[in-house]
Amino acid sequence: MDTVMRLERRGHVLEMMLDRPKANAIDAATSRQMAAAVREFRDDPELRVAILTGAGRFFSAGWDLKAAAAGESDDADYGEGGFGGITENWGLNKPMIAAVNGYAAGGGFELALACDIIVASTSATFMLSEVNVGVVATGGGIIRLPHRIPYGLAMEMLYTGRPMPAEEALRVGLVNRVVEPEGLMDAARALADDIVTSSPLSVQATKSILRDAEGRSVSEAYEAQEKNAEHARLRNSEDFKEGPRAFAEKRAPQWKAR
């Protein structure tokens, strides 16, 4: 198939653009391409943050219903990490930013929810419309949305499929920024650059600990934190010593991610 993932490296940041006209819908083959891009990001020690966006008017319309109508099942091989390479990627400890440029519907919205931070264009719209076509938001929508916005509002969206415009998404805390379309990537890049200045191993340990602690009591979360492998990796690293040393010497730290 044609290449639908446009990748651009910008220092320690990988920009990933889904470009599959007209609506950036995702069939199994597209998902496997996305999974390969995410794997490249995960495995390259020089890459610290990724930005996921879409080309055109759609961030992504989600699952390709034309492919489904032609016989592709929802348990097809979507590649490592689940749908889009990220919805079930439990080993991805590097942060991802969703730069939502337009419609994020169904599985497209679930991709944004699987990212750590969402920046939205004023033209962005979010919806989980699965119930309107007789399926269920099993790509993480049911699980993640109630943790990102008030529970009752999440239930309304899940039960009715009603869309949420960007300004409402900002008001309820779903997105971090809403900017004019021409400033979307600049806003996402600014956030990515802020993250890059932080210790990469600290950021990765933070994401991993958050995942391990989710749903646990405070005491259980502390225990999970102490047992976390990424936390142990950080504490045994050169960067763990570099941070305090740079502070004492009044200079910017030189992170090596080791």
Angstrom distance (rounded) from CA 196 to CA 50? 11
Q: Which residues are catalytic?
A: 110, 130
- Residues 174 and 165: their CA atoms lie apart, in Å, by 11
Separation of alpha carbons 223 and 240, rounded Å = 21
Beta bridge partners of residue 127, listed in sequence order: 105
Name, in order, each residue with C-beta under 8 angstroms of 37's C-beta and a sequence gap of 6 or more.
Answer: 5, 7, 14, 16, 85
Distances (CA, A) of 199 to 159, 162, 225, 239: 41, 40, 18, 7
Instruction: Dig out the tokens for 87 from the structure.
Output: 């919805």
